[in-house]
């Protein structure tokens, strides 16, 4: 057991080192194409400009032709750090490399995200325009998503995340426009809107329509279920009929119903966050929601990868099965591991004195990432460990040819015995 955890720690250290190497060798590329950009487009549908930001994966290289799944985050500028904190900690074993898109909802938020027009809410007149969700959906479908797809290397595999009114919008997107996204995270959604109008519609459609290939995660912040009455708990809230609990009761009613409709094929889960408020629940929801949505992505039998006694034939079989799972979900041929992990396992097996396994991982990295200079550099290190100078130079020269980076030129000169 101690050895197993040691190996996991080794993989972690290797990945950290590998990321540092990638950062060094792609510095010139990142200067040409910033990892995060802000942009805007004028929407004919909305008759106004809409701001958004795009964050590319850390391993992005324009020339390698790789495509990525996309996360669309509503309220993108206010929730950006939350999504990036989760994504930054969980990509690799739990999440694939993805393109993140944050959409601004700073202006006309109530108009754009609510699903029907109302004049009064919670006993007060609504001063803002309402009921523009269908127009905003049209903007996303016909303007924003095509723009993103035309400018960035995207797959058609998309995830939508929304909080509060945007959570209402997210559920409306699943119920009424389910072809646009595969995955949905509705964070403390405002399903009480307009006397539960969307909730009632959703219950009917969840009963009669099919949602195979779709996944939804819903959260409820339950630290304050009733603003005035601390005696209201999850155990008795459905017995209360006051306006104060309608928000939470709507989420509970929707979630219990969605959970009961197994026949429609929807992959559904929900969670109550007892110690979170409406404003704090996005962070834990994004973490748990993304891990749930991408559960299929997580490695099968990770212990076998880390066990030095696993035969190489078993590793090859595991990798083929992982590749099959990824390709079926993404709809395009996909490597069984991200490049950092392929490299990481290659170095781990080198350190463990198992060169055949190391070579297999390094060779696979080059196969799936033929324009990645770091993959060739790693193979060069493998050959150096085998005292094969000729092949080490061959792969170092390929790394230098691809990148033009002086780092590899210095490695070539050092291997040739030239003084720096």
The domain locations on the chain are 33-297, 302-415
C-alpha 134/C-alpha 314 separation (Å) is: 50
DSSP string, 370-399: TT-HHHHHHHHHHHHHTT-HHHHHHHHHHH
Token digits for 84?
């990036």
The residues facing 183 across adjacent strands are 159, 215
Residue 31 has pLDDT above 80, yes or no: no
φ/ψ (deg, to 5) at 338 = -70, 160
33-297 CATH, one of 3.40.190.80, 3.40.50.300, 3.40.50.1820, 3.40.190.290: 3.40.50.1820
302-415 and 33-297 share a CATH fold: no
The pLDDT of residue 418 is: 66
Residue whose tokens read 């297999």 = 360
Q: What share of the chain is helix, strand, coil (3-state, %, to 5)?
A: 55, 15, 30
Within 10 Å of residue 256's Cβ, how many Cβ atoms?
11
By the 10 Å C-beta count (0-12 exposed, 13-18 middle, 19+ buried), 44 is classed as exposed
- Using pLDDT thresholds of 50, 70 and 90, give the confidence band for residue 34: low
C-alpha 345/C-alpha 362 separation (Å) is: 8
pTM: 0.88
Q: What integer is the mean pLDDT of 262-282?
A: 96
Per DSSP, which regions of 199-330 are E strands? 215-221, 267-273
- Using pLDDT thresholds of 50, 70 and 90, give the confidence band for residue 123: low
Of 166, 149, 140, the residue nearest 74 (C-alpha) = 166
Within 10 Å of residue 213's Cβ, how many Cβ atoms?
12
Q: What integer is the mean pLDDT of 33-57?
A: 91
Residue 262 has pLDDT above 90, yes or no: yes
Query: Under DSSP, is residue 56 helix (H, G, I), strand (E, B) or coil?
Result: coil
Least confident of 18-27, 55-64, 189-198: 18-27
* Contacts with 155 (C-beta within 8 Å, 6 or more apart), sequence order: 67, 68, 69, 70, 330, 331, 332
Residue 280 has pLDDT above 80, yes or no: yes
Look up residue 299 and give its DSSP letter: P
- Using pLDDT thresholds of 50, 70 and 90, give the confidence band for residue 5: very low
CATH superfamily for 302-415 is Tetratricopeptide repeat domain (1.25.40.10)
Instruction: Calculate ∠ Cα 413-419-420, nearest 5°.
Output: 80
- Whether 326 and 297 have beta carbons less than 8 Å apart is answered as yes
Query: Under DSSP, is residue 48 helix (H, G, I), strand (E, B) or coil?
Result: strand
- Using pLDDT thresholds of 50, 70 and 90, give the confidence band for residue 309: very high
Token digits for 368?
């799936």
Of 283, 263, 297, 121, the residue nearest 192 (C-alpha) = 121
The pLDDT of residue 240 is: 82
Helices (H), 72-184: 80-90, 109-113, 133-139, 145-151, 165-176
The pLDDT of residue 345 is: 95
Helices (H), 59-159: 80-90, 109-113, 133-139, 145-151
- Whether 148 and 40 have beta carbons less than 8 Å apart is answered as no
The predicted-structure confidence for 169-213, as pLDDT tens digits, reads as follows 999 999 999 999 999 999 999 999 999 999 999 999 999 999 999
The predicted-structure confidence for 127-178, as pLDDT tens digits, reads as follows 778 999 999 999 999 999 999 999 999 999 999 999 999 999 999 999 999 9
């Amino acid at each position: 057991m101690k050895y197993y955890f040691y190996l996991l720690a080794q993989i972690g250290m290797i990945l950290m080192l590998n990321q540092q190497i990638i950062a060094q060798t792609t510095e010139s590329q990142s200067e040409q194409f910033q990892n995060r950009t802000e942009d805007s487009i004028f929407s004919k549908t909305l008759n106004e400009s809409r701001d958004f930001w795009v964050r590319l994966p850390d391993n992005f290289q324009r020339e390698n032709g790789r495509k990525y799944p996309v996360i669309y985050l509503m309220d993108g500028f206010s929730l950006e750090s939350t999504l990036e904190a989760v994504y930054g900690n969980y990509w690799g074993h739990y999440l694939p490399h993805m393109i993140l898109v944050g959409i601004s909802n700073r202006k006309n938020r109530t108009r754009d995200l609510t699903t029907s027009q109302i004049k009064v809410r919670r006993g007060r007149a609504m001063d803002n325009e309402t009921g523009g969700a269908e127009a905003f959906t049209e903007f996303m479908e016909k303007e924003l998503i095509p723009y993103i797809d035309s400018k960035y290397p995207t797959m058609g595999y998309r995830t939508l995340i929304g909080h509060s009114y945007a959570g209402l919008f997210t559920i409306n997107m699943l119920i009424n426009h389910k072809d646009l996204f595969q995955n949905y995270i509705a964070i403390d959604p405002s399903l009480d809107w307009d006397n539960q109008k969307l909730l009632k519609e959703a219950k009917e459609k969840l009963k009669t329509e099919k949602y195979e290939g779709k996944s939804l995660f819903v959260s409820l912040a339950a630290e304050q279920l009733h603003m005035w009455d601390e005696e209201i708990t999850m155990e008795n809230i459905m017995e209360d009929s006051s306006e104060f609990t309608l928000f939470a009761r709507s989420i509970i009613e929707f979630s219990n119903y969605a959970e009961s409709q197994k026949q429609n094929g929807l992959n559904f889960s929900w969670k109550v966050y007892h110690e979170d408020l409406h404003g704090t629940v996005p962070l834990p929801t994004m973490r748990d929601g993304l891990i749930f949505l991408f559960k299929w992505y997580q490695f099968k039998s990770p212990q076998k990868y880390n066990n030095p006694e696993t035969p190489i034939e078993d590793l090859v079989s595991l990798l083929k099965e992982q590749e099959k799972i990824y390709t079926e979900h993404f709809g395009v041929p996909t490597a069984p591991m991200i490049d950092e992990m392929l490299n990481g396992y290659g170095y781990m097996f080198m350190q463990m004195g198992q060169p055949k396994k190391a070579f297999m991982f390094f060779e696979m990295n080059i196969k799936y990432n033929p324009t990645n200079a770091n993959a060739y550099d790693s193979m060069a290190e493998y050959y150096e460990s085998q005292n094969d100078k000729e092949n080490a130079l061959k792969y170092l020269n390929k790394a230098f040819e691809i990148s033009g980076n002086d780092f590899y030129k210095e490695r070539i000169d050092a291997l040739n015995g030239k003084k720096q």
